[in-house]
Structure 1
Amino acid sequence: METFPQQENRGSSICEVLQILGAKWAFLVIAELAKGPKRFKQLQRDVAIIKTQSLTDTLRHLAQNGIVLREVFPTVPVSVQYSLTEKGLDFQAALMEMEKWAVKWAQQP
């Protein structure tokens, strides 16, 4: 079967996206941060299904890939706030399409 260059590029592009966003909890964290900036403890309460270390790892991974912005405020104690970057906010359209797909096919095998 012959493959076309466009198909090969699309496959590698999808792989790159999945390397960034394929972390177990990435979509849930992005969806929660789309509601607005949050401090770690608030985010932890809002996504209670995620264990603390997993949430930390996911936030670190997303920050390293430019999806999440981690801001440290010099208060006592130090407070840290997480928000989506422009790159992270841009992902919202794709996330909404995925949700539509999930709703459409949820009742069918």
Structure 2
Amino acid sequence: MSSIKNLRLSTDDAAAAAPKRRFLTRLTAVLVGGMFLDGYILGIIGTVIGTISTELSFTPLWEGLTVASSLLGILVGSLPKPKGSPSPRRRPGSRTKPGV
């Protein structure tokens, strides 16, 4: 009899843990995707900065500012949005639930 109770408890625990697992999976995917994009941006800038410098006759100051601007863009993009700003997935003023 105790094995039936343990089985029932384990299925209840699994059902309760499912939303957490789904959230953690999405969170992990978003974080890995962000790290991939950051690396891609920095890899592209690092690859083409030599060509850009010769084509546009950049001084070392402008080279540094160009690379620093990409880092600044990554920083600004990682900041949380202010409270009360509309979600990009829905239009401002649209209802979240029908009939509300």
With the length of structure 1 as denominator, give the TM-score of the two structures: 0.26
Larger Rg: 2
- Structure showing greater relative contact order (alpha-carbon pairs closer than 8 Å, 6 or more residues apart): 1
More helix by share: 2
More strand by share: 1
